[in-house]
Amino acid sequence: MSSHFEPLKGGGAAVALDEVEISILRSLAVQMLELIGPGDEPAQGEDPLAALFADGPSEPPSDPALARLFPEAYADPEAVQENEELRAASAEFRRFTENDLRTRKREDALAVVRSLDSLTVAGDGGAVLELGAEDCLHWLGALNDLRLTIGTRLDVTDEDENDELYRLPDSDPRKPMVMAYLWLGALQETLIETLRP
């Protein structure tokens, strides 16, 4: 997997992907959608404006990957649990912001799935994905969320160096996930580079 984004004239970015890469990216985006969960669409006859102001959850998710995607607002989780004032402020912040954040993350992952589904694979088994400026932003968000999720599952911390990840033996069951994590990081980095003025 050596794909990387390149800038398009007039804005946006393009990346050449083979069938395996398309399949992996689509599968990861679908898994992200499943992890985030379904959207809370207004019920039939419900006022959409009222649904916009509906309260969200006030407690952090128990799944570590979801907790990483929807972190505490004011401090690390241990500090929030030890301080009643911080716990109340964090719960209130989460209640009013998490639903919107979930919606945005869902839209990012859906944009990835839709753009991959629109590709026509050529006879050589590859395709070139061209993204406009708005889709680039959705892809950046989704790539970041995927890396955060996989990094959490791998227990990657800020102090970890990628050298340790590169040295895993092929027999290590984490190896495929590590390879996906590193590949997504390269995709994210090259997409950021293409968007710089």
Residue 1 pLDDT > 50: no
pLDDT for 162 equals 58
Please give the Cα distance from 85 to 37 (Å, whole number). Answer: 30
Residue 11 pLDDT > 80: yes
Mean pLDDT over the full length of the chain: 86
Q: Enumerate the β-bridge partners of residue 126.
A: 18
Residue 160 pLDDT > 60: no
Please give the Cα distance from 192 to 103 (Å, whole number). Answer: 23
Q: What confidence tens digit (pLDDT) does each residue in 135-150 have?
A: 999 999 999 999 999 9
Side chain identity, residue 36: I
Answer for the pair 145, 109: CB distance below 8 angstroms, yes or no.
yes
Report phi then psi at 16, rounded to 5. Answer: -85, 130
Report phi then psi at 2, rounded to 5. Answer: -130, 15
